[in-house]
Amino acid sequence: MMSYTVSMMPAAVMNGLMYGSIYALVALGLTLIYGVLHIINFAHGALLMLALYAAFFLYSILGIDPYLGILIVVPGSFIFGYVLYRFMIGKLAHGKDQNILLITLGLSIVFENMAMLFFSADQRTVNLSYSFETVDLGFVLLSIPKLISFFASLVICFLLWMLMSMTDLGKAIRAVAKERQGARLVGIDVDKIFAATYGIGIACLGAAGCLLLPIFYVDPYTGNLFVIIAFTIVVLGGMGSIVGALIGGFIIGITESVGGLILGESLGQIGISVIFILILMFRPNGLFGGKT
């Protein structure tokens, strides 16, 4: 038993890294939204689920490979997120923290059950021609889709970093995050920036969905699985910290994988909840976060 664990460890770690990169992408959207809008987006999991379905239907109806589908889903997700915030969330919450909590919860209920209604509860997966191909690294076999997803999410994270640090939009977003009133005074349309930030956060989910579908599955409740994971990463890495989300993603991915190996599939999941609770109690700013 012990030797099985040891021999499977490298594979578990690799697996964790690869899933972790996608988790990081999911968490990035969440931490961005929190860092700028100061809201906790409870609809995050449900929106990931919608992205997964989008990728799925692009493939099953139009035959578009999910990795190419990114080019469609990401802009689409951005627009969806922008509109959702601009015309719904932003307007209806009247600025109270509690309200945003409940409205995003309400949205997640609506999305989940619409998916249930229109797509049924069946689990959907995609089987690409290369879904089962692997690369032999000697000490471990890596599945090709997971490998592609891994590198793709790193690239996307890098692109996001470039967006935030080098473009005007990115600068405006960072200005608003730091100092809302000041940003208004220099002429930045804060409401539009909020909506755009939310859109970018959902666009991250769009990308994550496309990268996740080939190595996972989707049903109306898939989102729930990722809610706790995403929040744990964000809290671990520090609310509002992009670097934190990335590193946190890897840590959690590996924890989940290794934990599953050692404790068994179902109990391994508990590690994440435990980490989440402990961080909230003892180090709510996370590893890299500065603000509360």
Partner 1 sequence: MAISISRWVQMGLLVLAVVLPLAIQNNFYLDVLTIIFFTAYLGQSWNILGGYAGQFSFGGVMFFGTGAYASTILWTTYGIPPIYGVFVAILAGAIVGLIVGYASFRYGLRGSYFALITLAFAEMLRIIANSVEFTGGGVGIFLNFEPSIMNLQFINARGFYYLSLGMVVISIIIAMWLERSRFGAQLIAIRENEDAAEALGINVLRSKILAIMIMGGMGGAAGTFYAQKYLYLDPPIAYSIALSVEMLLVTIVGGMGTVFGPLVGSFVLHIVTEVAKHLIESPGLSLIVYGFILILIIAYLPNGLIGLFKGLSGKRGK
Contacts with partner 1, residue ranges (CB under 8 A): 39-40, 88, 91-94, 97-99, 101-103, 105-114, 116-117, 220, 224, 227-228, 231-232, 235, 264, 266-267, 269-270, 273-274, 276-277, 280-282, 284
Q: How far is the CB of 187 from partner 1 (least distance, A)?
A: 30
Element housing 135 (H / E):
strand 134-136
CA atoms within 13 A on the CB side of 279: 24
Choice between 134 and 224, CB closer to partner 1 = 224
Choice between 73 and 202, CB closer to partner 1 = 202
Q: Where are the alpha helices (DSSP H) in the chain?
A: 2-37, 44-62, 66-84, 90-92, 97-119, 144-166, 168-178, 180-185, 190-212, 222-237, 242-263, 265-268, 270-282
Q: How far apart are CA 156 and CA 245, in angstroms?
A: 13
Q: How far is the CB of 284 from partner 1 (least distance, A)?
A: 7
- 142 bridge partner residues: 135
Q: How far is the CB of 115 from partner 1 (least distance, A)?
A: 8
Choice between 205 and 275, CB closer to partner 1 = 275
Q: Are 21 and 149 in contact (CB under 8 A)?
A: yes
Residue 94, Ramachandran bin (φ over 0: left; ψ between -120 and 50: alpha; else beta): left
Q: How far is the CB of 98 from partner 1 (least distance, A)?
A: 6
Q: How far apart are CA 226 and CA 222, in angstroms?
A: 7
Q: Where are the alpha helices (DSSP H) in 213-241?
A: 222-237
Q: How far is the CB of 103 from partner 1 (least distance, A)?
A: 5
Choice between 97 and 179, CB closer to partner 1 = 97
Choice between 42 and 78, CB closer to partner 1 = 42
Encoded tokens for 22: 């996608």
Q: How far is the CB of 203 from partner 1 (least distance, A)?
A: 23
Q: How far is the CB of 130 from partner 1 (least distance, A)?
A: 34
Residue 54 exposed, middle or buried by CB count within 10 Å (0-12, 13-18, 19+):
buried
Choice between 68 and 114, CB closer to partner 1 = 114
Choice between 62 and 117, CB closer to partner 1 = 117
Indicate the angle between helix axes 2-37 and 242-263, nearest 10 degrees.
Answer: 150
